[in-house]
Amino acid sequence: MICWPDLSLPALLSAVLLALAPSFAQAEPATYADRVAPLLDRNCTVCHGAEKHKAGLRLDSYAAILQGAESGAVVKPGDLKGSEIYRRITLPTHDEDFMPSDGKPPLGSAEVVLLEKWIAAGAPETAAFEAPPLPPVVVVPPAAPDYRSRLAQANELARTLGVQLVPRSQVSTDGLIVRTASAPAQCTDAVLAKLAPVADLIVEAELARTQTTDAGLHAVAAWVNLQRLDLTRTAVTSAGMIALAPLSKLEAINLTSTKVDDQGLAVLQANPALKKIWVFASAATPVP
């Protein structure tokens, strides 16, 4: 007898779904084209493809895979143990022969199982074979539009305004950081307004010690993809916080050493996106 203690309907549903999950994972028809080729493309063909063919091996077509490397076959249909590719991807990661090499990420366990099932089923070119589905890929929504085509514009803008516009990372949809630490005093409300052409690219604004006032926050409000905003030691007040209300992606705001008080804090707390608000040495009562 199983007891269900106080489970709400959604919790109950998810419990049921979890219980069902393994049966989904059991098997699903897969084909070389649908599943194996994309897997090899993700993990292997950078070195074993059209551009490079290390060890004389290409893994970018069915024929090439069966042809193997200089040293011989890498896939022997139906013979898992005799398949060099399987041996290599299942070695300890520190082994010299381990693939992918050069510190590239190892195949996920579901990916290894897929190759295993394919080879064991005779490595068919078109026929379907049974394999568990891959776990769903978590798609992280881009933080901002692709910056690549707009770098020149951003660079020129930053130069004229005396601030820096720094990509958060080499991932071109990670957005730009407005950085002012080298010359915070040069960053005025007028400068913030002039950043409008790149407004949608800005994900983070380091405005500590700048000349930003409440008026400047109206410009900031147009930075629709803004996630983090540092206003430490600026002249902003509670009145300015209202302007920030539309920022639906704003996760963290730093108001250390500002005049913002509980009124401003309340305005910010109404924004469901905001997870972190720092008010040390401000006029607001710290949030526990």
Partner 1 sequence: MISDPHDPFAHLCSDHGGEHPSVLNLPYVPLGLKQEWLELETRRHFLGRGSKALAWAGLATLLGRSAPHLLADTGALPGLQPHFAPKAKRAIYLFMAGAPSQFETWDYKPKLSDLFDKDLPESVRGGQVLTGMTASQARLPIAPSFYKFAQQGKAGHWVSELFPYTGKIADELCVIKSLYTEAINHEPAILSMTTGNMFPGKPSLGSWLAYGLGAINEELPTFVVMTSKMPVRTNVQALSNRLWSSGFLSPEYAAVALRSGGDPVLYLQDPKGVSRDVRRAVIDGVNDLNRQLFERVGDPEINTRIAQYEMAFRMQTSVPEVTDFSDEPASTWDLYGPKAKEPGTYAYNCLMARRLAERGVRFTQIFLRTWDNHSNLPTNIRAMAEDSDRPTQGLITDLKRRGMLDDTLVIWGGEFGRTVYSQGTLKPDNYGRDHHPRCFSMWMCGAGTKPGVSHGETDDFSYNIVKDPVHIRDFHATILHQFGIDHNKLTFKSQGLDQRLTGVLPAKVIHDLLA
Residues of this chain that interact with partner 1 (CB under 8 A) are 93-94, 102-103, 143, 148-149, 151-152, 154-155, 158, 164-172, 174, 179, 181-183, 208, 230, 232, 252, 254, 256, 276, 278, 280-281, 286
Q: Long-range contacts of range 157-160, CB-CB < 8 Å, 24 or more positions apart?
A: 157/194, 157/195, 157/197, 157/198
Q: Which is nearer to partner 1, 6 or 102 (CB)?
A: 102
Provide the minimum distance between the beta carbon of 232 and partner 1 in the complex, in angstroms, as a whole number. Answer: 7
CB atoms within 10 A of CB 267: 18
Provide the minimum distance between the beta carbon of 151 and partner 1 in the complex, in angstroms, as a whole number. Answer: 5
Spatial neighbors of 94 by CB under 8 A, at least 6 apart, are none
Provide the minimum distance between the beta carbon of 168 and partner 1 in the complex, in angstroms, as a whole number. Answer: 5
Provide the minimum distance between the beta carbon of 13 and partner 1 in the complex, in angstroms, as a whole number. Answer: 29
Q: Which is nearer to partner 1, 103 or 272 (CB)?
A: 103
DSSP 222: T
Residues making up the chain, counted from first to last: 288
Query: Quick one: how far is CA 282 from the chain centroid?
Result: 34
Q: Which is nearer to partner 1, 61 or 172 (CB)?
A: 172
Tokens of 227: 């996630």
Provide the minimum distance between the beta carbon of 288 and partner 1 in the complex, in angstroms, as a whole number. Answer: 12
Q: Which is nearer to partner 1, 53 or 179 (CB)?
A: 179
Q: Which is nearer to partner 1, 2 or 152 (CB)?
A: 152
Provide the minimum distance between the beta carbon of 127 and partner 1 in the complex, in angstroms, as a whole number. Answer: 38
Provide the minimum distance between the beta carbon of 144 and partner 1 in the complex, in angstroms, as a whole number. Answer: 11
Query: Quick one: how far is CA 28 from the chain centroid?
Result: 28
DSSP labels, 102-165: TTPPPPPHHHHHHHHHHHHTT--SSS-EEEPPPPPP--PPPSSS--GGGHHHHHHHHHHHT-EE
Q: Which is nearer to partner 1, 70 or 96 (CB)?
A: 96
Give dist(CA 4, CA 73) in Å, integer.
55
**234 neighbors 210 (Cβ within 8 angstroms):** yes
Q: Which is nearer to partner 1, 58 or 168 (CB)?
A: 168
**Paired residues of 69 in beta bridges:** 72
CB atoms within 10 A of CB 148: 9
